[in-house]
Amino acid sequence: MTASHELISLTHLAEPPRQPRRIFVNRNLRLDSLTAVGFDMDYTLARYRRERLERLGHQLTLEKLISSRGYPDDVRALKYDPRFVIRGLVVDKELGNILKLDRHRHVGRAYHGREPLTKERRHELYRTEKLVFGPPRFAQVDTLFSLPEMCLYADLVDCFDRRARGSLGPWQICDDVRECIDEAHRDGTLKSIVRTSIDTYIEQDDQLATTLHKMRSAGKRLFLLTNSFGSYTRAVMTYLLDGQLAEYSSWQSYFDVIIVGASKPGFFNGAEPFLELDEDDAATDKTATHLQKGKLYQGGNRKELERMMGVSGDEVLYVGDHIYGDILRSRKASLWRTALVVEELEEEIVHMENSDEVFRRLSELETRRRRLDEITNLQRQALSGLDKEDPHYSMLREQRDHAKRERNELNAEIEALEERVADTFNPYWGFVFKEQGELTRFGEQVAEYACIYTSRVSNFTGYSSYQYFRSARDLMPHERE
């Protein structure tokens, strides 16, 4: 067989994954250079039926606000609206506003409760002085588990705005909602309900077991690293993996090390010991001196994990869904490579593909606008060198005014198209990754901290174990023009 025939036959061995199921690259990564691959569980290996889980979280948080924070009974009537939530939003606790920021920290969209703020009001509140959009005034919402608090917070702000003077302020409401939703997770209220009806709240991915098997067959050592505790982890992983492949007697067989109750992000730069669990998956006071395959351990820290597994640095890939707890902290504390699971990616890509004609039109309009900007600048320069009595002055000024009018018309058309296509994705917030042509704050974090990103773990199945994920060449604006 000739080399050309061999190449042709190889190209037919496997088709590249469809766009929504692809793995996208920010920094070069060779799979064959990895020794170990670690996984978070919730929203990474385990894909939740989001709207059902979010409605449950919303309901439980309301009950806790009423029972333990003294909120009035009538707030129980508030309903969860899954449309009014996307990842990456920011809460202004002082003013009761919810914001969507672009990568320059410009507020592109904002709501006070459920009422949109006008462009003029956004400018007045957030463009007259330099603000740092961080604690204590601003709260980030960057986990899927936290989405119900956005809808609940907005509705409660509206609710208490209508009440008599002296009612709860937006800062207190935000703290109460966040504490109660965290409490619903921490005290097991939510997860105990999920455990009793796992198939109601968690999806089965029929490619997950195959994906993990493929990695193990390529010589990778796999570990599970989750903040969920032992009994819940066992229930979820049993549902996901037990009985999927004959080669594995139980879900524990897929992993060389299993760590629960890891307290991420503290795990990455802390010094907590690994604790052995008893037969009921509860932590004992016995510190583990080595990590045995098939057993569950609680707590621990990154340095001891590396030492006990005999791995370190960039030979480890960690796959998680939480931009802060899984990705940012591991990147800052270590040389581990990072893969971010962004569940929303599939829907956003499909929507963009369906809006392909609009995006082509936007590209044409933006090219024309750049050209008009260049012409207008040249005209201004020419006018600045002419006396008003010069016969060419009036002609140049008329041409400049015509170019400015055309540019204003282009700006209006571009803005209207951007709003239209974004609003069809989400009528309140638009795209998760973009705002008016710019990366959102969340999109910037994905680009900055994730070596690669994709919509689900099983997307790795579509790639060779020797895959070289190569990023596009970085270009500065002067290189693109």
Among residues 445, 456, 186, 439, the alpha carbon closest in space to that of 321 is found at 456
| C-alpha span between 257 and 450 (Å, rounded) | 23
Task: Enumerate the β-bridge partners of residue 233.
Answer: none
Nearest to 318 by CA among 309, 349, 202, 195: 309
Contact 435, 100 (CB under 8 A): yes
What are the residue ranges of helices labelled H in 41-137? 50-69, 119-126
Q: In angstroms, rounded to a whole number, what is the distance separating the alpha carbons of residues 479 and 473?
A: 11
Out of 32, 40, 81, 158, the active site residue is 40
Radius of gyration of the chain (CA): 26
Catalytic site includes residue 42: yes
How far is residue 52 from each of residues 83, 156, 187, 386, 425, measured CA to CA in Å?
13, 21, 20, 69, 20
CA nearest neighbour of 206 among 37, 466, 465, 456:
456
Task: Answer yes or no: 373 catalytic.
Answer: no
Cα distance between residue 34 and residue 77, in whole Å = 51
H or E, element range at 227: none
Complete DSSP assignment for 165-222: TT---HHHHHHHHHHHHHHHHHTSHHHHHHHHTHHHHB---TTHHHHHHHHHHTT-EE
Q: Among residues 205, 210, 203, which one has the least CA distance to residue 461? A: 210
DSSP helix/strand/coil, 412: helix
The residue annotated as part of the active site, out of 32, 42, 81, 182, is 42
DSSP for residue 17: P
Token representation of residue 456? 């689900």
Which residues are known to be catalytic? 40, 42
